[in-house]
A and B are shown apart, each in its own frame.
Chain A
């Protein structure tokens, strides 16, 4: 029989603890595939956030160090400046990167730090019980917006990737989703490009990934995949948001 797929070398042989239908496990696997294909497993340093994916270090076989909420970009900056050959990436949720870590993220991008952000947008605080996140959609019900996110009280969903695109030091920003085989393939391409951008010393790269959280969305995995397409992508359209990799020279 023809072998069409095998476990990436960098993905440890450990069963995921994530809920059925969660996007984290898919993204972890994509990262490992990219690390294998770019042959960078021994240069990558992962910075997982507090939250469900703090355990990313149990699955991805690269150097990893935990960080405080929101501080991924600052920690990655410290690593990169101390060890320029390393390829640090922060793995951050929406609450992490678009609320508590907004300042660190925007300023790291503005300095043009050669680091990569993997931004998991599931529109809620997942691990803590599905509270409203900065990216929660208008009228969306969460445990802290039981009557739906009210524009007058809670404001609009924060579009961090679009904000970052305005920052001059940012080089490559793309929004993808992991809710269908076609989208998963695109997501992998984007992740690969982000790390290639860093390897080429072109500056700050970020991939925002719309990622289902069926548990907190109170949906079945299949429903959650549909919801990403039908609702989430209307507020957070997929595609390249900024790409100046072709215009920049590696320094």
Chain B
């Protein structure tokens, strides 16, 4: 990024002194109408939360990448998914949401980054790409499916000096709670629209599944291998992989519960997306959980063991 952006006409790359400063540079560049992003790993993302809240409040688009690692605190430097709550519940202060995308391959890192910028511009909000240390260090062949974006029109709300127009104020602060309430309502209405229009997911062998694994990002990648092997042994296992972690594909999950009664949530944390699954299923089906926190990366064979045990315990039917 430093090589490609720092000398390219119309682009800028800045190494900030801190994450706090970086997110505020992002805020400034977004104010001025630029397409802008910042990236860090878990502890750095905690530092950026103040700025993300301001971006959300002032309806400013930006992309924030979190290649998350084991926590809490300084934690470990190995891949983990323990920032799910932080990413999908707003993260900073105030009543807001960010769109959260959960890539599961290097190809998807590229595709979803593209989508993240488009979504940020479309809905005027910060979009978070929640990856992990495993994806961040993985090498895979990819195809850049998208053309470089054409020169974008300058956003209507950009502050670049009041040339030929009245001066513009970008702010939320008000001493009248009713005005702030209206801002919150306006954001909420947009969030409802996003839930309706932008929820995305992938299903894998769910048609005849007796057991559905729900996993995102790197966990889904691990689970996929396990499911393949389980199928080879005649276990009818499938997977739902949320691609948008917020909005969460609740309706899809609920509809899967019409035919499948057993769900296994697998995450590299102690059960964060698990709560979204519980909320989505509203008591339908039975939910089990397998989690490895702290930066431990389980193998497909470990997940296969969990699947087999569960399959046996619940007395599920094997394929003939």
Instruction: Give residues in A with beta carbon < 8 Å to B.
Output: 41-45, 47, 50, 54, 57, 61-68, 71, 74-83, 85-88, 103-104, 107
Contacts and interface: CB of A to CB of B under 8 A. Distances in A.
Contacts of B159: 45, 63-65, 79, 86
Interface of B: 12, 14, 16-18, 20-22, 24-34, 36, 50-51, 54, 58, 159-164, 167-173
A81 B187 CA distance: 29
Given A45-B159, A63-B168, A83-B160, A78 B58 contact: no
Contacts, number: 132
Given A74-B28, A77-B28, A68 B17 contact: no
Contact of A78 (B17, B18, B20, B36): B36
User: For the complex, would chain B's binding face be called helix, strand, loop or mixed by DSSP majority?
Assistant: loop
A71 B167 contact: no
A74 B170 CA distance: 16
Nearest to A88: B28
A66 B161 contact: no
User: For the complex, would chain A's binding face be called helix, strand, loop or mixed by DSSP majority?
Assistant: mixed
A42 B167 CA distance: 8
Contact of A75 (B12, B14, B25, B171): B25
Nearest to A41: B162
A63 B160 contact: yes
A57 B159 CA distance: 13
B162 A78 contact: no
Given A41-B162, A65-B31, A77 B171 contact: no
A244 B22 CA distance: 28
B161 A103 contact: no
A105 to B, nearest CB: 10
B54 A42 contact: no
A43 B27 CA distance: 19
Contact of A68 (B24, B30, B34, B163): B24
A79 B29 contact: yes
A142 B126 CA distance: 40
Contacts of B58: 65-66
Contacts of A77: 14, 21, 25, 28
B167 A63 contact: yes
Contacts of B22: 74
Given A74-B28, A78-B26, A103-B18, A45 B161 contact: yes
A42 B21 contact: no
Given A65-B31, A78-B28, 20 more contacts: A42-B161, A45-B159, A45-B160, A62-B161, A63-B159, A63-B167, A66-B170, A66-B171, A68-B50, A74-B20, A74-B25, A77-B25, A77-B28, A78-B31, A78-B32, A79-B159, A81-B14, A81-B25, A104-B20, A107-B16
Contact of A64 (B17, B27, B54, B171): B171
Contacts of A107: 16-17, 21
Nearest to A62: B167
B157 to A, nearest CB: 10
Contact of A82 (B24, B32, B162, B169): B32
The 5 lowest CB-CB distance pairs between A and B, nearest first, are A78-B28, A74-B24, A82-B32, A82-B34, A78-B25
B170 A64 contact: yes
A75 B34 contact: no
